[in-house]
Structure 1
Amino acid sequence: MEITQLLPEFGGLIWTLLAFVIALSVIVAIHEYGHYIVGRWSGIHADVFSLGFGPVLLSRVDKRGTRWQLAALPFGGYVKFKGDSNAASGTSDEEVMRQMTAEERRQTMTGAPLWARAATVAAGPVFNFALTILLFTGIFMFQGKVAEPLTVGELRATPSVQELQVGDVLLGIEGTATPSFDDAEGFEAFLEGLPQQNTLTYDVERDGARMEVTGPYVYPPVVSQVVPRSAAIDAGMEAGDVIMSIDGVPIFAFDQLKQRVESSDGETLGLEVWRNGEILDLALTPKRTDEPLPDGGFQTVYRIGIVGGMVFEPATEAAGPVEAVQGAVLRTYDIAAGSLSGLWHMIAGNISSCNLSGPIGIAETSGAMASQGGQSFLTFIAVLSTAVGLLNLFPVPVLDGGHLVFYAYEAVAGKPPSDKALRMLMSVGLVLILSLMVFALTNDLFCP
């Protein structure tokens, strides 16, 4: 193999690693800054704020005496508070503590009041959730909301007859009036009543005049986004592709594609794909996927890993900040609830443990999302930030949640756990975390 053949793969690897490092660095920086700033507000002094581990590349000491540093291994970070024996802030350096005055001890994690320690520890995950909400708020405000009445904002390229134009107001399709797009149930029922055929008759208002035009099916088998680590990625599908037939059978609606994939039982499908006027023949094998249900359960189905879309992008109008924040909070809650539900069902054996990704899977996903545009990458960071915040709240020693459990014990018992108990519990927590990392990495290497 010539070196020129390796360059695209090498470039893809570099892009994946860069995207992963950027995403992780943003999330870790926000998490650790939460610890730092709430600790500072609570009277706890930080000696070191480090982004990364290992040899220090850059550093500076601010006017408060905190050293801010960038280290060589960009896969995490930490805040080391005054008096800590290590970066985990789990135990204090007893010799150093004995030499401190009462005022100096108050500036340490060990010497600070219980409320200050608990607030400082909880701040890391809270800041992760805040980052998610902030990113989704920005995304929702940038996207806007679908304008009423439903109007053509941008047309997708398809091989079908297309007489719709940008600015057309959709009054009806095939003789049925178009319901409000905000009425999810009504709009879904409207779509289900449409015939699944290559072209439909659209009743539109154009420049003040009402007319009938011909256009493709409302939700054609078009690819608006390709899901990372999916069968579609493996087959070389791209955003903008239109699937014309499956195993020689023509299809015109995304639902037809979905039904055929779900009934494939994992057998390889032959697709005829239209891409920018060119016809391609692709083969892909649907993958078993565990998807959440509205009631909190899961269903196992076959998927190829694409996101569909309408034959046109609807025109949008600005979304207000209050509406955007409300949507962002709800989205963050849904991600957290879905993650916890998925973890529970994995433990119970109801769904495959392959749903748990490790560093390789996360890196691949970050690269794929970054390649699909800034908005997709920001969405990935938001989702990953919620996952990091949620993971850190687990009641496992070494994690923030474990420290909060220790503080809860101290609040009830009137004294902290003994040093011997702390060392033992921290060792157990470290073993659990390392075991989880090894398990997730095994999934990355061996799961289909």
Structure 2
Amino acid sequence: MDILGQIPSFGNIIYTLAAFVLALSIIVTIHEYGHYIVGRLSGIHAEVFSLGFGPVLLSRRDKWGTQWQLAALPFGGYVKFLGDAGVASDKASDVLADMDAATLRHTMHGAPLWARAATVAAGPIFNFALSIFVFSAVILIDGEAVEPPTIATMQPLPVSAGSLLPGDQLLALDGRATPDYTAFYEALTDLPVTAPLPYTVIRDGSEQSVPGPYPFPPLVRALQPGSAAMDAGLEKGDVILAVDGQAIAAFNQLQEIVTSSDGAEMTLTIWREGRQFDVTLAPRRVDLPTEDGGFETRWLIGMTGGLFFTPQTRTPGIGTALGYGMDQTVFIVKSSISGLYHMVTGAISSCNLRGPLGIAQTSGAAASQGVSSFIWFIAVLSTAVGLLNLFPIPVLDGGHLVFHVYEAVTGRPPSDKVLKFLMTLGLTFLLGMMVFALTNDLFCP
């Protein structure tokens, strides 16, 4: 494999790196702030809150005596509590030995068990909270579709939209009642891929029949970062007219061709703002989570289709939005755990595990699609970071919580010797996983 040939231009590297650093900085700041604020509220004093590692570029000390600093290496961050020997919250035994009881109470190692456990757990919890907030904010901003399906705006298409207009309520499609979007999509099951089709609509308070296009054309509504479609230069709003010269008029026709391609290279004829051109790409094997918790492997080009119109929406209630945000976060957690399990068992490819280069590339690709796509990516990555930190591996928050559970059960913490050994073991394991993930970034397709 020609690795050097896959490296993008210098400008793209800078853009990708900037997007990665920004995404990581936001997630790390939220994570470490969770540790900091819960620690402070539970009586544990933070000496340093650092975004980044290495030489300090900027710093200031607040009224609680915490030094807030920006360091030169922006690939992480930490909170150093009173009594810590370093950024991993290991004991400064000589310092702790000289403290009186009152001062010792304000250290991570001398605070009550509940305070230590709450402070450790707060980091991942704040990551999940960030994800829920972002997903909830997205639906509050974008809104939820009103029913019956109602046209807000029309998508430019290479075929006529018939007589449909913005504001039309779609009551029926080719004689099939469509009181809601579930019924609307069900009507596509045996709908002829022809145009025009008869729509029954309410317009200006009266019911009438008007012609319109096939409702689900091969239209690009969104692109998956790092996908074959994005790499080939497809853009949101493009319409695929043909595959290898075979004309298509429906998104499901494109799906069938791609799914059965077995990864063979194909040429797509694209319509974009009135002009036509061809692009060549090859579908990629992707392991997708299923509703039953398993995975299915499919050939995909990485684009999402959509209706020929943008639905009219309304702002949902706060409860509905929060429910949506929690559902999205839980889905990512479940899919991630299921994915790891299936990789370990060999059911899906270990190439699904990506390292810093893969994440950075995805960061840049998400940012290139706009602010909303980038913010969504940050929320997804924040969930992943929160979940990773809960794994029961020494060095990670989850490992510390296991130590706290041991202390709660036995009445005493693990010995310093045992802790040192387990922390070294955990660090070795994490470094090994990082090397493995980095290898995937370089050599997996």
User: Does TM, scored on the shorter chain, surpass 0.5?
Assistant: yes
One-letter code aligned to 1:309:
G
CA-to-partner distance for each residue in 1:17-61, whole Å, 9 max, x for gaps?
A: 111111111100000000001111111100000001011010001
Shift of the alpha carbon at 1:319? 0.8
Distance between the aligned counterparts of 2:396 and 2:99, measured in 1? 28
Distance between the aligned counterparts of 1:197 and 1:273, measured in 2? 19
Shift of the alpha carbon at 1:207? 2.2
Number of residue-to-residue matches in the alignment = 437
CA-to-partner distance for each residue in 1:230-271, whole Å, 9 max, x for gaps?
A: 111222111111011112211111111101100001111121
Answer yes or no: is 1:35 the counterpart of 2:32.
no
Shift of the alpha carbon at 1:198? 4.3
One-letter code aligned to 1:380:
F
Distance between the aligned counterparts of 1:44 and 1:267, measured in 2? 59
Say if 1:31 and 1:125, in contact at 8 Å, map to a contact too. Answer: yes
SS at match of 1:434: helix
Say if 1:48 and 1:67, in contact at 8 Å, map to a contact too. Answer: yes
One-letter code aligned to 2:77:
G
Say if 1:45 and 1:81, in contact at 8 Å, map to a contact too. Answer: yes
SS at match of 1:273: strand
One-letter code aligned to 1:270:
T
User: Over the residues paired in the alignment, what is the CA RMSD in angstroms?
Assistant: 1.3
Distance between the aligned counterparts of 1:271 and 1:138, measured in 2? 36
Distance between the aligned counterparts of 1:426 and 1:396, measured in 2? 8
Would the alpha carbon gap of residues 198 and 305 (structure 1) be closer, same or farther in structure 2, given more than 3 Å must change? farther
Answer yes or no: is 1:401 the counterpart of 2:394.
no
One-letter code aligned to 2:431:
L
SS at match of 2:9: helix
Distance between the aligned counterparts of 1:13 and 1:122, measured in 2? 35
Shift of the alpha carbon at 1:212? 3.0
Q: Name the structure 2 match of 1:138.
A: 137
**Match 1:251 to one of 241, 248, 270:** 248
Q: Name the structure 1 match of 2:316.
A: 319
Answer yes or no: is 1:71 the counterpart of 2:68.
no
Q: Name the structure 1 match of 2:3.
A: none
Q: Name the structure 2 match of 1:412.
A: 409
One-letter code aligned to 2:54:
G
Distance between the aligned counterparts of 2:168 and 2:195, measured in 1? 20
SS at match of 2:378: helix
One-letter code aligned to 1:73:
L
Distance between the aligned counterparts of 2:195 and 2:436, measured in 1? 47
54-63 or 12-21: which moved more? 12-21
Give aligned-pair identity as a percent: 59
Answer yes or no: is 1:388 the counterpart of 2:385.
yes
Q: Name the structure 2 match of 1:422.
A: 419
Distance between the aligned counterparts of 1:347 and 1:143, measured in 2? 38
Say if 1:197 and 1:253, in contact at 8 Å, map to a contact too. Answer: no
Q: TM-score, normalised by structure 1?
A: 0.95
Distance between the aligned counterparts of 2:72 and 2:196, measured in 1? 58
Dislocated runs of 4+, deviation >6 Å: none
Say if 2:20 and 2:363, in contact at 8 Å, map to a contact too. Answer: yes
Shift of the alpha carbon at 1:102? 0.6
Answer yes or no: is 1:220 the counterpart of 2:217.
yes
Answer yes or no: is 1:106 the counterpart of 2:105.
yes
CA-to-partner distance for each residue in 1:156-186, whole Å, 9 max, x for gaps?
A: 11101113221111121112221312xx3x3
One-letter code aligned to 1:158:
L
Q: TM-score, normalised by structure 2?
A: 0.96
